[in-house]
Amino acid sequence: MPDIAASADHLFDLQPTHNPNRYFLPVEDKLSVGPPGNLFLFGGVGLASSIRAIEETTGRPTVWAAAQYLSFARVGDIVDLDVLVPVHGKYNTQARVVGHVGDREIFTVNAALGERPSEYSAQWAEKPDVVAPEDCAPVDHWREDRDDLHGRIDVRVVKGRYGEERKTGGLSEDGHVVLWARMREDLPMSSSALAVMADFVPSAIGNAIGRDAGGNSLDNTIRIRKIVETEWVLLDIRIHGVHNGFAHGRMHLFAENGELMASASQSVILRIRD
């Protein structure tokens, strides 16, 4: 039985069961976001925990994973994660996870995993030329004194309007936000950590439309290229467009040395808060 709790990544307390294809995740404040007294499981944690469950079950690294969010899990809930592996080939595995609280389905994650021998390793996406994290202003929303997930992440603004600034200037010219982010607990870089950070795409919506805005994610897709050790991750976010009450955007996730570690995309139900 895999010992999830003793793994190097302690983003969440994912626990194995007697069934090698089932895990469970207690929903705690530190995994949740939302208004006080009404916290819910952060969508990126749902994707991240599913990635961990699939990797533990198959013994292979994630290439691609996509979450569809169907409902909310609240603090105090226990989310069961059932792993199904319909295809397990020589190099590639196709799998999915169903996350549910009792009979209520919370999220579904589809994924491809594996490694293939290849002489090629290259990237064409370029890390933006930006100032160092210590020269950027921290985001008040991610305060260290918070008990929720935001309190576990240090976020610095490189480019874009945040906080009260989002309400000024009308529509953005390019829908572009750049952030530095790191886990305050000095956790090793992993596919799960990248999946949590990939769920910051909605945070750039307010910058794009010039309002105090965000949204509820309909999906979250991450594509892993190459994971390297890095303290800070540069989140290069672009909101592509908004229409009919929905927003769509993407993100590139770079290590400090410019290595492209992953790309991500989301569609979001647009929420105006002001």
Residue 164 pLDDT: 65
Residue 132 pLDDT: 97
Residue 247 pLDDT: 98
Task: Judge whether 4-114 and 135-272 match in fold.
Answer: no
Q: Are 75 and 28 in contact (CB under 8 A)?
A: yes
Q: What is the pLDDT tens value at each position of the chain, 274 positions in all?
A: 445 444 445 789 999 999 999 999 999 999 999 888 899 999 999 999 999 999 999 999 999 999 999 999 999 999 999 999 999 999 999 999 999 999 999 999 999 999 999 999 999 999 999 999 999 988 877 677 788 998 999 999 999 987 667 777 789 999 999 999 999 998 899 999 999 999 999 999 999 999 989 999 999 999 999 999 999 999 999 999 999 999 999 999 999 999 999 999 999 999 998 7
Residue 153 pLDDT: 93
Residue 9 pLDDT: 59
How many whole angstroms separate alpha carbon 216 and alpha carbon 92?
A: 32
Residue 7 pLDDT: 44
Instruction: Provide the residue type at 132 as one letter.
Output: A
Residue 6 pLDDT: 42
* Domain spans, the chain: 4-114, 135-272
Residue 122 pLDDT: 97
Superfamily the domain 4-114 falls into: Acyl-CoA thioesterase, double hotdog domain (2.40.160.210)
CATH code: domain 135-272 is: 3.10.129.10
pLDDT one-digit tens code per residue, 129-156:
999 999 998 887 767 778 899 899 999 9
Residue 111 pLDDT: 98
Q: Are 23 and 15 in contact (CB under 8 A)?
A: yes
